[in-house]
Amino acid sequence: DADVTQTPRNRITKTGKRIMLECSQTKGHDRMYWYRQDPGLGLRLIYYSFDVKDINKGEISDGYSVSRQAQAKFSLSLESAIPNQTALYFCATSDFNGQYFGPGTRLTVL
C-alpha cells in the first residue's frame, strides 16, 4: 500500500469545519475511488473517477465533494463536517486485476 498514500492519517475536527483528505498514487492507474468504512457496514463508495475529466457519485456522496487534480491525485472534501461523518476513509486505485487501497485516514468530527 505504499503505492497509494493518504494524508493526513488521523484528523480531529469540529462540526461545521471544512476538511480535505488527500490521496496520491504512483501505480499509474487511471481509476481512483474514495470509500468510507464503518463497523458492520463494510466499505461504501463515496465517489469514483475513471480519469481526470471523469468524476462520478457513489452510493453515499451527499455531504462530500472530490477533485481530481491529476492522474495521480484525488482529493475528498467535506464542506461542512458533521459528527456522523466520523469514519475511516480509504482511497483506492484499480486495474483489471483489482483495487488497491491506501492506509486510510481516521476522521473524527466532534
State the nearest-atom distance from the C-beta of 106 to other proteins, in Å: 9
Which residues contact other proteins by CB under 8 A? 1, 4, 31, 33, 40-45, 48, 50, 58, 90, 92, 94, 97-104
Nearer to other proteins, 8 or 16 (CB): 8
Closest-CA residue to 90 (of 48, 34, 49): 34
Nearer to other proteins, 56 or 80 (CB): 56
**d(Cα 54, Cα 32) in Å, to the nearest integer?**
10
State the nearest-atom distance from the C-beta of 47 to other proteins, in Å: 11
Instruction: Tell me the C-alpha to C-alpha distance, in Å, between residue 40 and each of 22, 67, 94.
Output: 25, 28, 24
